[in-house]
């Protein structure tokens, strides 16, 4: 067996106990809890739930392979004003500013307030190979059957095949993931809701949240943390393997929602290659052998990328925050364009990617940090392991419509999101060391800009051509003067000449902001996310190579100023 659910004695219990975990786990045994054993049962509950729209124009494709009834259809359910994740509502046990006594009381009251509601208990497996499998449990009130059903579909619902696989999976000395939820909860101190995590004890409370993405990413938050504690690099990105004549090339791309990571992962390249896809959002890399495991079977995609008549829509299982329309055949179809609101979403079945696998045994070859930093050329190659990892730790990008931002936050402002993973609950140095280990072991590091370079858009065709040249070993990188550890691929129309005074100035401004970000980790949250000295040293080394008199004056001014990157 993998993670721990039932206990043989005090010693095993003592290894994973905490106040929050005991509080949440106890709720699962109340007499108002109903266990839902099959995804077919969850489908019927969701279909009957008030507000559900059965999309009669989208029958489930090959329902027998999804564990669903033959006559099942895709289901649409819409939330209210919220259609994105609220990072500002996250609280993590162990952070300096988090008062455990205060939040323990809130969670106890939230559980008490659901005692007169029927509660559903479901369980899934996270990690699709017996080398890494975690059991996860969700407890959620009635009237939220669509969240519950989507959660079971997003992860691997327990069937005969996966039950047997889990039985013989590698033991992980940690507790099952347990999550208590109440989307109807409200509290004057938490107008955006509350997502509370006790990550080292694999438990969470998700309160006042109606957007399904909170439940998906909340569960992954704990799974990624477990992976990081057990010898894996936790990855919010996409991974695919190019099966070329006589060799293979496996790449991983890391970026926030809307950065292009799914586009790159699922790109067909005009069918030039035999490609194997692991996943486009959640996976882990074994640091020792560099093999990779998918954490989820399905895909949680933006619907706007797929027109209403797109063939890919036949793989939809559930939809969130979309419009609906009736055609002249009397059937109801979704309006996939973002007309009702931004960030319309759908869960698509594993069958969508015919080239999909759950584990890639071929060691990873290349890692791409996807940025939207306007001073970054379309692609550069980082030679040093420390520099490669700290550039991932200072991944500069922009917010997306998948996020519900707190009042006053500018969605167009450049932000740093380390390793494109806003769901990390452990010290940043853990990821820094894990990725540095990969680069030291021979994995190549690249940065690709999928936004604008000095006002000019980097088109998806540019990005895909860059990646194709790299995997085919025909990419020509040259030293990016004057840097010792950075190489560049020269691309027509994108002049990254640091002899250009304006560009040199803009580049330094953004690079110094990275230095400021890393240095600030020494004091933010009492230094929880402080990085080793070598990290900031590698950034300073890059800056020192721009050593003209005007460069030094600007650098000194910037380093004494305030960063524009959060």
Q: What is the pLDDT of residues 8-66, one digit of tens each?
A: 766 667 777 899 999 999 999 999 999 999 999 999 999 999 999 999 999 999 999 99
Cα 126 to Cα 150, 156, 202, 205, 276: the distances in Å are 14, 6, 13, 18, 20
Round the average pLDDT of the chain to a whole number and report it: 93
Average pLDDT over residues 523-540: 96
CATH class of 10-43+83-231: alpha beta
DSSP 233-263: EEEEEEEEEEEETTEEEEEEEE--TTSSHHH
- Give bridge partners of residue 178 from the DSSP assignment: 137, 203
Most distant CA pair in the chain, distance: 74
Residue 434 — φ and ψ, nearest 5°? -65, -45
Q: What is the pLDDT of residue 344?
A: 92
Report the C-alpha gap between 39 and 44 in whole angstroms: 9
Contact 187, 107 (CB under 8 A): no
- Cα–Cα distance for residue pair 93/15, rounded to 1 Å: 17
CATH ID of 235-297+357-495, from 3.55.40.20, 3.30.70.890, 3.40.710.10, 3.90.228.20: 3.90.228.20
Handedness of CA 254, 260, 263, 269 (dihedral sign): negative
Tens-place pLDDT, residues 294-349: 999 999 999 998 888 899 999 999 999 999 999 999 999 999 999 888 889 999 99
| Per-residue pLDDT tens over the stretch 396-436 | 986 555 555 455 545 556 789 999 999 999 999 999 999 99
Q: What is the pLDDT of residues 476-493, one digit of tens each?
A: 999 999 999 999 999 999
pLDDT for the residue 180: 98
86-142, pLDDT tens digit by residue? 889 999 999 999 999 999 999 999 999 999 999 999 999 999 999 999 999 999 999
Give the pLDDT confidence score for residue 413 in this predicted structure: 66
pLDDT at 565: 44
Q: Report pLDDT digits (tens) over 159-176.
A: 999 999 999 999 999 999
Q: Cα separation of 18 and 379, whole Å?
A: 46
Nearest C-alpha neighbor of 292 from the set 232, 349, 215, 213: 232
**pLDDT-above-70 percentage for the chain:** 95
Instruction: Render pLDDT for 76-87 as a digit per residue (tens, 0 to 9).
Output: 999 988 878 888
Give the pLDDT confidence score for residue 312 in this predicted structure. Answer: 93
Helix (H, G, I), strand (E, B) or coil at 76: strand
Tell me what pLDDT residue 420 has.
95
Query: What confidence tier does 563 reach under pLDDT thresholds 50, 70, 90?
Result: very low
Question: Are 335 and 324 in contact, with CB atoms under 8 Å apart?
Answer: yes
Strand 415-416 relative to strand 366-371, pairing: unpaired
């Amino acid at each position: 067996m993998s993670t721990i659910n039932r206990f043989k004695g005090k010693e095993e219990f003592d290894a994973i106990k905490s106040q929050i975990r005991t509080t949440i786990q106890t709720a699962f045994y109340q007499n108002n809890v109903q266990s839902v054993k099959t995804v077919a049962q969850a489908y019927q509950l969701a279909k009957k739930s008030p507000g559900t729209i059965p999309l009669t124009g989208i029958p489930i494709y090959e329902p027998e392979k999804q564990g669903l009834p033959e006559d099942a259809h895709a289901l649409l359910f819409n939330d209210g004003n919220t259609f994105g994740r609220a990072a500002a509502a996250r609280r993590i046990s162990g952070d300096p500013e988090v008062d455990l006594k205060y939040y323990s009381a809130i969670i106890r009251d939230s559980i008490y307030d659901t005692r007169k509601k029927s509660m559903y208990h479901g369980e899934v497996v996270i990690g699709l190979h017996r080398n890494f499998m975690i059991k996860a449990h969700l407890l959620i009130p009635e009237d939220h059957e669509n969240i519950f059903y989507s959660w079971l579909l997003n992860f691997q619902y327990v069937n005969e095949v996966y039950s047997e696989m889990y039985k013989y999976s590698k033991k992980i000395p940690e507790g099952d993931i347990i999550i208590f939820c109440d989307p109807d909860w409200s509290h004057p101190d938490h107008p955006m809701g509350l997502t509370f995590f006790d990550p080292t004890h694999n438990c969470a409370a998700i309160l006042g949240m109606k957007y399904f993405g909170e439940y998906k990413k909340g569960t992954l938050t704990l799974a990624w943390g477990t992976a990081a504690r057990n010898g894996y690099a936790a990855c919010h990105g996409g991974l695919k393997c190019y099966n070329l004549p006589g060799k293979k090339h496996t790449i991983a791309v890391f970026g926030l929602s809307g950065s292009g990571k799914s586009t790159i992962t699922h790109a067909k390249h005009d069918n030039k290659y035999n490609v194997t896809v692991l996943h486009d959002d959640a996976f882990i890399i074994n640091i020792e052998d560099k093999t990779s495991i998918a954490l989820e079977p399905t895909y949680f995609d933006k619907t706007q990328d797929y027109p209403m008549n797109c063939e890919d829509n036949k793989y939809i299982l559930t939809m969130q925050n979309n419009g609906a329309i009736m055609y002249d055949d009397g059937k109801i179809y979704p309006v996939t364009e973002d007309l009702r609101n931004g960030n319309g979403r759908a869960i698509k079945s594993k069958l969508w990617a015919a080239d999909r696998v759950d584990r890639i045994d071929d060691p990873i070859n290349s890692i791409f940090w996807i940025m939207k930093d306007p001073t970054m050329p379309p692609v550069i190659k980082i030679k040093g392991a420390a520099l490669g990892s700290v550039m991932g730790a200072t991944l500069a990008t922009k917010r997306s419509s998948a996020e519900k931002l707190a009042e006053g936050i500018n969605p167009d402002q450049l932000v740093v999101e380390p390793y494109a993973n806003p769901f990390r609950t452990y010290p940043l140095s853990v990821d820094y060391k894990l990725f540095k280990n990969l680069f030291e072991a021979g994995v190549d590091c690249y940065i690709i800009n999928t936004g604008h370079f000095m006002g000019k858009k980097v088109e998806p065709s540019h990005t895909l051509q860059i990646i194709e040249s790299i995997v085919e070993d025909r990419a020509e990188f040259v030293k990016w003067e004057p840097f010792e550890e950075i190489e560049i691929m020269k691309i027509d129309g994108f002049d990254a000449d640091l002899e250009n005074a304006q560009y040199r100035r803009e580049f330094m401004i953004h690079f110094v902001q990275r230095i400021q970000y890393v240095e600030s980790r020494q004091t933010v949250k009492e230094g929880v996310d402080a990085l080793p000295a070598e990290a900031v040293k590698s950034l300073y080394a890059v800056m020192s190579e721009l050593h003209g008199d005007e460069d030094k004056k600007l650098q000194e001014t910037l380093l004494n100023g305030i960063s524009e990157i959060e």
